[in-house]
Structure 1
């Protein structure tokens, strides 16, 4: 695998000097324990180990938070408890840099490419979900569900994933004879559980690898006659459905296309039908402040993605007959889900699947970074029920 931005350390003496001062301020404010090659600066907070401080400060100074992630990928720094360190940072993200220094963001903040066209969406999904079905199987549970679980006391991850799916199907009132559209197939577990209720399911995806395995899993479960899995963008869907269900897909749509997404739901929903969505969200003010910023996650993990606020989604559906009829938040369940995924990923032999050490560090950082977002409350996850206005 080629990693040109990891192998090359950018250089700017001025920006590195500014980054060093900002880091010292943040470390003092959070009381971080900072380990340097020449010793440890004590603190009561999580420890950060700067193995190559020079490279770290140059990457931070030139590329900001993207540089932080790339520096971790390169091995410039480490942390004995990476999620704890990132949670401390996420909890204070909006106040870490003092207002008088916020202008520094213009050095490194790049605008997010907002292209949610069908061609771009296919390429974005291919970048992440078509990496390898074996890779995802290495850290997901046997339901192959790649979204937040919903835990009850005593649940395994598998139990909690099925609980999440069943609650969505209950919200959409899926039962015998229901015509169900699933937007974003994943690897087929929701379609299987809907079919087990006696529903007929049309599931659409733009991931070739996911579709292939989902078809196999549906057939193995005995529901090939009641579940169709099609390679199709949501805008290409046709028909009329009693229930539409979509799990953590709206985040990949792109802000400019949210109205198109909800107009599509409105067009496809039969009279009296219901829509159940699961979505990762962030507070509206944070979304407005960050929506034009190109991030490490967008560069390396989810190109084209943007987390919406509930307010933004409501505005996007305001031109349709759909209205938000109920919602449930469970962000700490996502933090727990991500912790379990990360532990499984760290124990997996991903190198045997063709992925190198930099990829391993990239995904370790991604899973810990995401866990920190939910642990700190910086982001959340919700199940949303949409109905037509009376």
Structure 2
């Protein structure tokens, strides 16, 4: 349902061209292809690219889903050979830091087609996000995402209004849904610990990811974090 809602926000229909940037396993691209759209997925690692290709091939959508392999999370707009009717970013902007978020939005804007839509899902800090939460998040910065920063909605609005030609036309808050989803993910992760070990993920790695999921669940449950889906379009040009 979450993915379908994001596609609805992006107004994705048959004949559209969409971009999943960066890859989150190809879920959005595959569902968009089911709707008759052509989908590109930006993958920043060979294994990510292979996962998407395999999934597309398994369901017979290889012709509709194209993987763009890049070593750079934020390639130049010149590296894309098309403009997109919809661009999707799922829970990655907060891992880029304030400057990275600004850069991503500006680059996405440059490859957005006329009347296109950017849809972002991300975790944001609420007024309850305090020093205790910040200290807990430091471990994630140290070992997973060095630039991790949970912006407030006011920060996001300022960046969009000041540094881009975009505007936010829709915002849906979904903390309760996100908390339940992460609880399910954590349960599955713990239940499959032995399988993860068999795939080569050592104990430290497994404990780290369990900590990550537990922390996010706790921050959502205590109201320190929220999860929001944002709908952005090109702002009208001011008349001279």
TM-score normalised per structure 1 = 0.54
The separation in 2 between residues aligned to 1:287 and 1:188, in whole angstroms, is 34
Offset at 1:293? 9.8
Q: Does 1:179 align with 2:14?
A: no
The separation in 1 between residues aligned to 2:36 and 2:44, in whole angstroms, is 26
Q: Does 1:315 align with 2:158?
A: yes
Report Cα offsets for 1:242-283 as digits up to 9, x if no partner.
111111111122212222211112211111111111111113
Offset at 1:330? 0.8
Report the more deviating stretch, 290-299 or 320-329.
Answer: 290-299
Alignment partner of 1:353 out of 175, 194, 199:
199
Q: Of the two, which has the highest radius of gyration? A: 1
Unaligned ranges ≥5, structure 2: none
Q: Which structure exhibits the higher relative contact order, with contacts defined as CA atoms closer than 8 Å and separated by 6 or more residues?
A: 2
Offset at 1:363? 2.7
Report the more deviating stretch, 189-198 or 295-304.
Answer: 295-304
Q: Does 1:366 align with 2:201?
A: no
Q: Does 1:254 align with 2:119?
A: no
The separation in 1 between residues aligned to 2:186 and 2:133, in whole angstroms, is 26
CA RMSD of aligned residues (A): 2.4
TM-score normalised per structure 2 = 0.86
The 1:284–1:388 alpha-carbon spacing in structure 2 relative to 1, beyond 3 Å, is farther
The residue that corresponds to 1:244 in the other structure is: 87
Report if aligned partners of 2:129, 2:225 keep a CA contact under 8 Å in 1. no
Alignment partner of 1:338 out of 155, 178, 182:
182
Q: Does 1:231 align with 2:54?
A: no
Partner of 1:173: helix, strand, or coil?
Answer: coil
Q: Does 1:296 align with 2:154?
A: no
Report if aligned partners of 1:291, 1:306 keep a CA contact under 8 Å in 2. no
Report if aligned partners of 1:241, 1:270 keep a CA contact under 8 Å in 2. yes
The 1:359–1:288 alpha-carbon spacing in structure 2 relative to 1, beyond 3 Å, is closer
Offset at 1:291? 7.8
Report Cα offsets for 1:77-126 as digits up to 9, x if no partner.
xxxxxxxxxxxxxxxxxxxxxxxxxxxxxxxxxxxxxxxxxxxxxxxxxx
Moved over 4 A (4+): 284-294
Partner of 2:75: helix, strand, or coil?
Answer: helix
The residue that corresponds to 2:3 in the other structure is: 165
Report if aligned partners of 1:287, 1:308 keep a CA contact under 8 Å in 2. no
The separation in 2 between residues aligned to 1:317 and 1:205, in whole angstroms, is 25
Unaligned ranges ≥5, structure 1: 1-162
